Amino acid sequence: MVVVMQEGATEAQTEAVIRRLVEMGFTVHRSTGVRHTVLGGVGPMDDFDPVALEVMDGVKEAHRIVSPYKLASRHFRPGGTTVRIGNVEIGGHKLVAMAGPCSVETEEQIEASAEIVASAGAQVIRGGAFKPRSSPYSFQGLGEKGLRILRAAASRNGLLVVSEVMDQVQIPLLTEYADILQVGARNMQNFNLLRELGNLRKPILLKRGIAATIEELLLSAEYILSGGNYQVILCERGIRTFETSTRNTMDIAAIPVLRRLTHLPVIADPSHGTGKRDYVVPMARAAVAAGADGLLVEVHPDPDHAFSDGAQTLSPDQFTDMMEQVRAIAAAVGRAA
């Protein structure tokens, strides 16, 4: 159930509606927009007639949300969500670039990466300290040491940090060192992890699962939102199809679809989306043209010697070039970069 309050509705009127929703068995999530307060009621009463709420003082409109996800639905926040971290806004007018190596390997590698990322104009450094690898024999990440390296390099270069959390037990470490916690594709439906992240008040970057539908992605976001953590950023990173020319099939169409269905910011990861560095820049351009709020890209000072995902990792020059091209596309679609 979504109840949109009138512009200028009083606090007492809003509280009366909240009380009524609670009486009816709904859990109420409140979103205060520029003009309207929107109340999202999540509960068992799907057959309730919204007119009973619509007649209450101060109510502009009330309607049932038919989609299985409620708080992730665009109806809940028609104006969109902006995730703010310091002076960086994700989901605002300006695009956000998150870039760095697949894995944190050494202090020198991360320092060099941070310099490349910052000087090309990106705002966030990425790098996995806990790596979900298909093989248990592949490099698994440096753990806390990696997070410490990442944080130090980010602070020296005025960057924010995004890094992956693979398990609930890693949450305290990630919250200590990272500004944004990434949930990887393989964990998109790790519901226990999502619920725990819902209890945080920290931005979460939720990547689309390898074989997940858009609806499943939004339901996973709903797990986090329903815990009261509304700072969720979605990421299209390619899905597995019958095509073998690319590592995954970058679903560019998911970007406008998500923008219609949800208020949450949407970024694109053309690195995992294609698996080959030659295709990363064209897909980055396409994602921005399609309306993405930002990009997550793998870049390494020496990509051919990267511990993981080297084939899809840009060189510093390729990354700088990508940022320039993306700025031109952003301007063409009415955004800044």
- Residues forming contacts to ligand PEP in the complex (CB under 6 A) are 102, 128, 132, 184-186, 207, 237, 272
Residue number closest to ligand PEP, CB atom: 184
Q: Which is nearer to Mn ion, 294 or 303 (CB)?
A: 303
Q: Which residue, among 62, 59, 61, has the nearest Cα to 26 in the 3D structure?
A: 62
Q: Cα(181)–Cα(164) distance, rounded to whole angstroms? A: 6
207 binds, options ligand PEP, Mn ion, none, Cβ within 5 to 8 A by partner type: ligand PEP
Q: Cα(276)–Cα(230) distance, rounded to whole angstroms? A: 33
Q: Which is nearer to ligand PEP, 186 or 327 (CB)?
A: 186
9: CB partners within 8 A, 6+ apart? 37, 57, 58, 59, 60
Helix axes 214-225, 254-261, angle to 10 degrees: 40
**44 CB-contact burial (10 Å; exposed 0-12 / middle 13-18 / buried 19+):** exposed
* 27-32/124-126 β-pairing: unpaired
Q: Which is nearer to ligand PEP, 148 or 186 (CB)?
A: 186
Q: Which is nearer to Mn ion, 39 or 185 (CB)?
A: 185
- Work out which of 59, 71, 97, 102 binds Mn ion, going by CB under 5 A: 102
Interacting span for Mn ion (CB under 5 A) from 54-62, 97-105, 158-166, 187-195: 97-105
In the complex, minimum distance from the CB of residue 128 to ligand PEP, in angstroms, rounded to a whole number: 5
Interacting span for Mn ion (CB under 5 A) from 102-110, 168-176, 261-269, 278-286: 102-110
Interacting span for Mn ion (CB under 5 A) from 87-95, 133-141, 161-169, 308-316: 308-316
> Residue 7 in contact with residue 36, Cβ under 8 Å?
yes
φ, ψ dihedrals at 158, nearest 5°: 65, 35
H or E segment at 279?
Answer: helix 277-289
Q: Which is nearer to ligand PEP, 39 or 212 (CB)?
A: 212
Interacting span for Mn ion (CB under 5 A) from 111-119, 228-236, 282-290, 304-312: 304-312
- Work out which of 38, 59, 309, 326 binds Mn ion, going by CB under 5 A: 309
> Residue 160 in contact with residue 180, Cβ under 8 Å?
yes
Q: Which is nearer to Mn ion, 5 or 129 (CB)?
A: 129
Binding site for Mn ion (CB under 5 A): 102, 309
